[in-house]
Structure 1
Amino acid sequence: MRKITARTLLLVGVFGLLILQFCKERKTTQLPVDGQEENRKIRELHKYDSYVYSWPKCEQNTSAANITGFSSLPGHIQDFLYYRHCRHFPMLLDVSDKCGGASQSAEVFLLLVIKSSPVNYDRREVLRKTWAEEREQNGVWIRRLFISGTMDSGHEKNRLNKLLELEHREHNDILQWDFSDSFFNLTLKQILFLEWMEKNCPKARFLFNGDDDVFANTDNMVQYLQGLDDNDGSKHLFTGHLIQNVGPIRSQRSKYFVPVQVQESESYPPYCGGGGFLLSGYTAMVIYNMSKSITILPIDDVYMGLCLAKAGLGPSSHMGVKTAGLYVPSSNTDMYDPCYYKEIILVHRFFPAHMYLMWHRIHDPKLKCGL
């Protein structure tokens, strides 16, 4: 009986030591899995700004399923309606000092706000070397921000987030929130940026807001804005490719399909094409304040028009903004002849290699146009 008891005690002791060692190892290796280490890093990165990681996860509005005809809608529109009410998301990357602080932000003459998905690394790199380079131009400062959400899930999402983090460490120019970076969430991206601007860059004089696949002549932007009678950004300005007398597209085959469950009205207010437009800091803050009481519409440029209309303001047309593409008079003419691009403000849809080449060609001192 005594031998059995001693053996039993020995086995229990060994088993206890194994459990203790397992718990130590588990405690060490689980930190990255359950997010504690990641949260610690985020808190350290943003220890002066609890806002960036404090928003809770937005819950699905299940009552959206009761909307008439909901079950017949495409999945991405159903998702939009489920989460349409969500306006706050945790911030993953921040540049709170981009404008030198809220009180110093008037030193920023032109803030480039560029919508970019995580996968578009090549576009961002080319823009940083060309028209979106941060610099002093004609005695005023140009600053740059890319605004982004997240894409995919699991390992691929983590890889893309890591890519943006590495870019951010080097360039300090990315704002990223933890929401799905999709076409129907472009309006959300705009609202989140304006919320950030109100806090961190409220006195910036002018903004360029556009896509990462446009060719923009920021030299010409500065020249145009400096030539305004009121060029301190304190007056209304919203200009670009003016679109008016149109309404929602009801065809499900269209990328821009908006069903009546999303927008009942058959008409849109005047707005500027979302590929790129210029606005004053004053107007940016007006749009943000109006957005607080306007239900989100997935087409972001139309939503801007709605906010302007509610404020009793409107957009204007600028002949140098070509979001629908540039007209070339002859099929025998090189559509990438730099003389067509030297005087414009922007043209939509450029490949990165063409962007890089065009920027250098229009700045070639040997370029001769109008002969």
Structure 2
Amino acid sequence: MSRRWCRKLEVAILSFAGFTGLLFLLQNEKSRHDLKEAIEISSPIRPIVTEHPKPIAECRENVSVANLSGFAELPDHIKNFLRYKHCKEFPLLLDVPEKCGGPDKSYDVFLLLAIKSSPGNYERREIIRKTWGQERMYAGVHIRRLFLSGQVANAREARKINQLLKAETEENGDILQWDFHDSFFNLTLKQVLFHSWMEARCPGVRFVFNGDDDVFANTDNIIHYLLDIPGAGDEHLFVGQLISNVGPIREKWSKYYVPEQVTASNSYPPYCGGGGVLMSGYTSRTIYKESQGIELFPIDDVYLGMCLQKAGLAPASHSGIRTVGVRVPSSKLESFDPCYYKELLLVHRFVPYEMLVMWRAINQPNLICGKRLEVYQRL
């Protein structure tokens, strides 16, 4: 009995050892297979680019503006502008410092698309990424893209929207967000902060497109136009839809209402409509320098005109930039005909689905138009 019991015990021990070894081999093989599969299906994901922003002292309210005559009767958004217009520095919440390859390599970027976008405008940003705002090489030059944004004023909503912007940055690496309230009267602040960022991160960029996220831009035509500009961005260029001989709107109902408490002047310098402008790197750097000595003004395109005027430079008109839309010869004609847009540089304004439809239409190889209008040539 003892021999038989020992034999059974021996068989049991050997069976257990064999089964344990088999499990180990199977598990080891599965681990190697999982690792191999993970390596095969993984793809590089652009990481979130974050830096610890330099400490910026909190900008305090200028309470003395309450003593201005008529201040109490002003709309709240104008009161807030007067209280904080001296504030020109805000922390960056999202940054992409290598967007241009670093300051030393930024000369390789021919065109930087700097698009002003409110935080919640996800659909507009996504359509632009897929259409005219694609980062690519075209005609032998590099195109890069940035969206410029602030913060939502409502704190609860801001927490959600900030997560959205963070996710977009993680996936696309194309958002600059500052810690200020994103509003119409803060567009000038956004513009000034962008030029400051450019000076530090992308000082060598050749040309800049600066516009809103509801414009349709034909970046192919823009590149062809800029390639014919002498100086490769080292000379003055600032073109758009020129506006001159106008002044502040004094009616309170207007979005563009600017009271005398903001400016006593009844005239604006010549400027280009803020829907979209093209400027050289030289002019962008000049705007940055001049903005250091000019206090903020609530209308951003007028402010750029002020900076140019102080530098002794002038904005110019380009018939291919239509910031008030396209006018067709007759009401019987279809205004959304791609033949009206194929030779233009920019049209304001488009809803997201229109951008996609028009981009696909003007890029059809079989598109035939009756007359070719070379409006993108230098005028």
* Greater C-alpha radius of gyration: 2
Task: Tell me which residue corresponds to 1:63.
Answer: 64
Task: Tell me which residue corresponds to 1:329.
Answer: 329
What secondary structure does 1:54 align onto?
coil
* Contact 1:53–1:92 (Cα < 8 Å) also in 2: no
Residue type matched to 2:257 in 1?
Answer: F
Distance in structure 1 (CA, Å) of the matches to 2:229 and 2:303: 26
* Contact 1:56–1:90 (Cα < 8 Å) also in 2: no
Residue type matched to 1:308 in 2?
Answer: L
Q: CA deviation at 1:45?
A: 5.7
Distance in structure 1 (CA, Å) of the matches to 2:126 and 2:58: 32
Distance in structure 2 (CA, Å) of the matches to 1:370 and 1:191: 43
**1:162 has 2:163 as partner:** yes
Distance in structure 1 (CA, Å) of the matches to 2:322 and 2:103: 33
Q: CA deviation at 1:133?
A: 0.3
Task: Tell me which residue corresponds to 1:11.
Answer: none
Task: Tell me which residue corresponds to 1:32.
Answer: none
Residue type matched to 2:189 in 1?
Answer: L
TM-score, normalised by the number of residues in structure 2: 0.84
Q: CA deviation at 1:366?
A: 1.2
* Contact 1:269–1:306 (Cα < 8 Å) also in 2: yes
* Contact 1:118–1:148 (Cα < 8 Å) also in 2: yes
Distance in structure 2 (CA, Å) of the matches to 1:57 and 1:330: 56
**1:350 has 2:350 as partner:** yes
What secondary structure does 2:137 align onto?
strand
* CA RMSD in angstroms, aligned pairs only: 1.1
User: Any gaps of 5 or more consecutive residues in structure 1?
Assistant: 1-43
* Aligned counterparts, 1:1-371, within 5 A: 46-47=50-51, 50=52, 52-230=53-231, 232-370=232-370
Work out the number of aligned pairs and report it. 324
What secondary structure does 2:368 align onto?
coil
CA deviation digits over 1:62-120, x for unaligned, max 9?
11111111101000000000111000111100000000000100000000000000110
Distance in structure 2 (CA, Å) of the matches to 1:320 and 1:297: 28
* Contact 1:217–1:345 (Cα < 8 Å) also in 2: yes
Distance in structure 2 (CA, Å) of the matches to 1:261 and 1:93: 34
* Contact 1:244–1:270 (Cα < 8 Å) also in 2: yes
State the identity as a percent: 58
CA deviation digits over 1:1-45, x for unaligned, max 9?
xxxxxxxxxxxxxxxxxxxxxxxxxxxxxxxxxxxxxxxxxxx96
Q: CA deviation at 1:229?
A: 2.4
What secondary structure does 1:207 align onto?
strand
TM-score, normalised by the number of residues in structure 1: 0.86
User: Any gaps of 5 or more consecutive residues in structure 2?
Assistant: 1-47, 372-379
Q: CA deviation at 1:53?
A: 5.0
Distance in structure 2 (CA, Å) of the matches to 1:339 and 1:190: 33
* Contact 2:49–2:95 (Cα < 8 Å) also in 1: no
Task: Tell me which residue corresponds to 1:27.
Answer: none
Distance in structure 2 (CA, Å) of the matches to 1:45 and 1:153: 25
Residue type matched to 1:286 in 2?
Answer: T
* Contact 2:49–2:97 (Cα < 8 Å) also in 1: no
Residue type matched to 2:177 in 1?
Answer: Q
